[in-house]
Structure 1
Amino acid sequence: MVLQPPRSGTSRYIRPNFTWVNKIAGLLNRFMYHPDSDVQELLRNGQLGYSAYRRTGLTHHHPQRSFKGYTVIAPQGGDSAYALDMGGRIVHRWRFPDLRPFYARILANGNLAILGVETKFAPSGPRLPGAELPADLKERVRGFGGNASVLREVDWNGETVWEHNNETIHHDFVRLPNGNTVIVEWVDIPKEIERQVRGGQRTRTRKRPPMAGDEIYEIDPVGKEVWRAKVWELHDPRLDPICPLEPRNEWSHLNALDVNADGDVLFSCRNNSRVGIINRTSGELTWSYGQPETFHQHNATWLENGNVQIFDNGMHRLGMPRSRIIEGNPATNEIVWEYTASPDIQFFSGHISGAQRLSNGNTLVCEGAPGRLFETTKDREIVWEWLNPIVETVRGDPSTSIFRAHRYGPDHPAFADRALEPRRYMELNRLHGLGGPGFRGSRFGG
């Protein structure tokens, strides 16, 4: 921040001495944007791939055009979920000493649902290329992305009110209006099916364990299973091949679930780049979409108009990799809206990521790999942007990644009638350079 006098010709201008102003600005920049010493050391060593002096936290806000509320995130590798105000500052924290959160969202009753892996199951070392996979499914999936072992519902103070344990669940879940919960889990698919599945990188090992597939199941509040769909039976081994650049450990790698008012289940699978709709009553696949339109996509969601929104990661796309958000009509397969960057290669996340359509028509985007969140209008104007300064460790490597983010209005049961002030987390905000001295600005300001 260097202040300059106006150009010549400006009337009633008295040239001041800017030396002391620039000194103060320099101190403020150091206070607000410099990470703590441990993070600086990681950055200096080049382990995060960007400058230790880049600006993080809130980088842009257009208050007149943004959707006001609180943004909930669970940075990968940490032990916490956070609520951020519109100034990008932490105003609430849920902490989980016994698990590593993967994904968090607020439920309709105001509680937080957290999907994560318990620390006793969490892998600590890096993935080793070519390492032999365990034969036991529960042990094997601990090395898969998005793995979890518990889905937990907690109140505002972090007290557990409901929990479901399963060492093979992963990625996503949906709480239904009747209190039931829809979850996805890995299963071993039959060998005769595995042999028919095309694609993927084949290995010569004789001890290769079974290929993993996905099944979606629904449980009631006491944990009784009431419905199940075997996704591996709905896919065609010939027409839904694994990407040739992916291993054959998994066929589909289901990474997103959503359920509409009719009970139809929308899902997204990364490894074979497929999005589908399952009719709840018949169990049949009523819509299939994907490559060559989407590549390793995430976060397929229903919109109120019946269309489907997808984060198309663009990983392994022909040409330069680039991501985009698309809204499609499943009745016609027509793309009716699309967000891309300009130039398009400046927006890319090879994995994770998501997008939420907000009630004012804007879209909150989570560019997951670098941990960048931004809100865009229908006209593709970015009206809010936040870069994650919270550095955690994933399999021994530093990370600022976020699987997905959600924003909730101030009238949501989780936040209504609560005085949420960043001052309550002043030291935590200062540690991560979120906000300046005194945390000036309202909770819905910038």
Structure 2
Amino acid sequence: MDNSDRLGFAAFFVACLFLAFLGGAAVMLTKVFPAEPLTNAYKAGRALLLRREIENSYVQTDQWREARTDARGTTIHDPAQAYQGYTLYTRGGSTSAHLIDMDGQEVHRWSLPYRELWDSTPDGRPAQRDDLMYWRKAIMEPDGDLIAIYIAAADTPWGYGMVKLNADSEVIWSYHGAVHHDFDLGSDGRVLALTHGFRDTRYEVFSSLAKPFLDDQVVVIDGETGQPQQQISVFDAFYDSKYQIILTAIPYFALEDPLHTNSIQLIDDELAAVFAPARGKGNQVLISMRHPAAPALIDLDSGEMTWATKGPWHGQHSIQAWPNGNFTVFDNYGHYTDGDRSRILEVDPSTGGAVFSYAGSADKPLESKLRAAVTKFPNGNYLITESDGGRLLEVSPDGEIVWEFINPVRGGDNDQFIPVVSSGQRLTPDELTPAFRARLQSATRS
């Protein structure tokens, strides 16, 4: 082959590459076959690379934040106003739950690495490393049994499973479903959870939805065996309801994860009698959907979405109804002030107006761009989980901090990072069984 032949062949090869590029561009722009499988292959490859590139969990995951203070443990405690008891919390970077007394002393701990249960994700993919997982939420029962959910960093779906342990961290049952964000325990023994997974379903009125997209499911689990009993698609319930128009509020960047449902609560007959949106009908679940910024009710008997609304919150978490008929919400982004900090609200659903608001102060700001939670005690105080600050605080109805706990764990070369705190629960000693209460009191004395 002489030089002219070589040049001709090279030109032909470059021309073929250029035509292939033009053809590929046309395929991707017009979204004709094989655009979809190529797009999915690219997304899968990119996700795999991201999973393998995590070398520093402090800066490459959302489980750690820069510490805002050097303070650690209980920093404020007003015994006269605080709701006394034991506080359970979970933190980033660890599949563990920690129970502390009001002085911040740890009196009990549960822990179980993911790989002692499973070595793959619920959908069969290789699981992330144990050091990239943590318990997103845990709930302690009066006898010391504990239910927790596993979450992984840098993976989608990131829900990895649920486990129930006894007080010695021994497995009672496990559920290998993609449980994420939140779950609730019904008084009848059922566990109400959120799972998610990819779907390819097309929707005529929502043609911009990504394919595949991440759909959330409400799952009802037998609290004695860990076996799933019922599953309802949140997106289908929303799409088929009279509230479908709210789906248009989903931002463009969320078309692959359109709802991002992040809290769930069982509305039983007792709560349904006072929570106006339930209209007296129990066996419903109250959920929070971050991307459309909407709370909603789904009837477990019919699978229908019976109520949804919008409000003065944005990117919210932890919507819960209370015996006074109101609901609380951690409003992550909706407090439009200098610094764009967060706030908590208590809302009267009959009017949509806030009856209580707390946004911190200049010296103790409240800010969590991700996660966070709020619950309410019988004495009217609010327990706030400020995830990004690694902090739990109890606030009175007057807006005064009557108890504050800052996660004592630090990471990094100079202890500059703090793990997020993603859930908080408090039980009084009287709520515990005598045997477990005695065990905790013994630990406190020692």
Normalising by structure 2, report the TM-score. 0.69
C-alpha distance in structure 1 between counterparts of 2:430 and 2:230, whole Å = 33
Q: Are the aligned partners of 1:297 and 1:314 in contact in 2 as well (CA < 8 Å)?
A: yes
Q: Are the aligned partners of 2:110 and 2:169 in contact in 1 as well (CA < 8 Å)?
A: yes
Matched residue, 1:277: 297
C-alpha distance in structure 2 between counterparts of 1:210 and 1:317, whole Å = 34
Matched residue, 1:417: 438
The reply to whether residue 371 of structure 1 matches residue 390 of structure 2 is yes
Match of 1:72 among 88, 99, 107: 88
Q: Give the 5 Å matches for 1:193-208.
A: 193=203, 196=206
Matched residue, 1:211: 213
Distance 1:410 1:74, change over 3 A: same
Higher helix share: 2
Quick one: which amino acid aligns to residue 251 of structure 1? P
Per-residue Cα deviation, 1:379-420 (whole angstroms, up to 9, x for no partner): 111100111121369xxx954201111111111226533324
Matched residue, 1:91: 107
Q: Are the aligned partners of 2:90 and 2:98 in contact in 1 as well (CA < 8 Å)?
A: yes
Deviates more, 1:95-104 or 1:178-187: 95-104
Quick one: which amino acid aligns to residue 149 of structure 1? Y
Matched residue, 1:156: 167
Per-residue Cα deviation, 1:25-61 (whole angstroms, up to 9, x for no partner): xxxxxxxxxxxxxxxx99xxxx95347x722211111
Matched residue, 1:256: 263
Distance 1:242 1:334, change over 3 A: closer
C-alpha distance in structure 2 between counterparts of 1:316 and 1:302, whole Å = 21
Q: Are the aligned partners of 1:197 and 1:242 in contact in 2 as well (CA < 8 Å)?
A: no
Counterpart of 1:182 in 2: which secondary structure? strand
The reply to whether residue 244 of structure 1 matches residue 251 of structure 2 is yes
Distance 1:392 1:143, change over 3 A: farther
Matched residue, 1:235: 238
Counterpart of 1:153 in 2: which secondary structure? strand
Quick one: which amino acid aligns to residue 64 of structure 1? A
C-alpha distance in structure 1 between counterparts of 2:110 and 2:166, whole Å = 9
Q: CA deviation at 1:228?
A: 3.0
Match of 1:268 among 288, 296, 301: 288
Q: Give the 5 Å matches for 1:8-407.
A: 49-50=66-67, 54-98=70-114, 100-107=134-141, 109-117=143-151, 122-123=152-153, 127=154, 142-143=155-156, 147-166=158-177, 168-193=178-203, 196=206, 210-220=212-222, 221-236=224-239, 238-241=245-248, 244=251, 246-261=253-268, 262-291=282-311, 293-314=312-333, 320-343=339-362, 346-391=365-410, 398-407=417-426
Deviating runs (4+, > 6 A) in structure 1? none
Per-residue Cα deviation, 1:210-265 (whole angstroms, up to 9, x for no partner): 11111102133445543332210233565324653744320111111101222221
Counterpart of 1:240 in 2: which secondary structure? helix
Q: Are the aligned partners of 1:198 and 1:242 in contact in 2 as well (CA < 8 Å)?
A: no
Q: CA deviation at 1:197?
A: 6.1
- For structure 1, the 5+ residue unaligned runs are 1-40, 128-141, 200-207, 425-446
Q: Are the aligned partners of 2:208 and 2:255 in contact in 1 as well (CA < 8 Å)?
A: no
Distance 1:282 1:392, change over 3 A: farther
Distance 1:345 1:390, change over 3 A: closer
Counterpart of 1:74 in 2: which secondary structure? strand
Q: Are the aligned partners of 1:242 and 1:248 in contact in 2 as well (CA < 8 Å)?
A: no
Quick one: which amino acid aligns to residue 162 of structure 1? W
Task: Kindly tell me the number of residue pairs found equivalent between the two proteins.
Answer: 343
C-alpha distance in structure 1 between counterparts of 2:67 and 2:432, whole Å = 39
Counterpart of 1:143 in 2: which secondary structure? coil
Q: Are the aligned partners of 1:212 and 1:251 in contact in 2 as well (CA < 8 Å)?
A: yes
Identity %: 27
Matched residue, 1:17: none
Q: Are the aligned partners of 1:287 and 1:330 in contact in 2 as well (CA < 8 Å)?
A: no
Distance 1:110 1:304, change over 3 A: farther
Counterpart of 2:196 in 1: which secondary structure? strand
Quick one: which amino acid aligns to residue 275 of structure 1? P
- RMSD (Å), alpha carbons: 3.0
Q: CA deviation at 1:331?
A: 2.9
Q: Are the aligned partners of 1:295 and 1:314 in contact in 2 as well (CA < 8 Å)?
A: yes
Distance 1:245 1:92, change over 3 A: farther
Distance 1:344 1:218, change over 3 A: farther
Q: Are the aligned partners of 2:331 and 2:343 in contact in 1 as well (CA < 8 Å)?
A: yes
- For structure 2, the 5+ residue unaligned runs are 1-57, 116-133, 269-281
Distance 1:80 1:222, change over 3 A: closer
Q: Are the aligned partners of 1:242 and 1:252 in contact in 2 as well (CA < 8 Å)?
A: no
C-alpha distance in structure 1 between counterparts of 2:330 and 2:226, whole Å = 31
Counterpart of 1:239 in 2: which secondary structure? helix
Q: Are the aligned partners of 2:136 and 2:180 in contact in 1 as well (CA < 8 Å)?
A: no
C-alpha distance in structure 2 between counterparts of 1:110 and 1:222, whole Å = 17
C-alpha distance in structure 2 between counterparts of 1:60 and 1:66, whole Å = 10
Counterpart of 1:283 in 2: which secondary structure? coil
Normalising by structure 1, report the TM-score. 0.69
Per-residue Cα deviation, 1:97-152 (whole angstroms, up to 9, x for no partner): 336322111135541111114xxxx45xxx5xxxxxxxxxxxxxx335xx332211
Larger Rg: 2
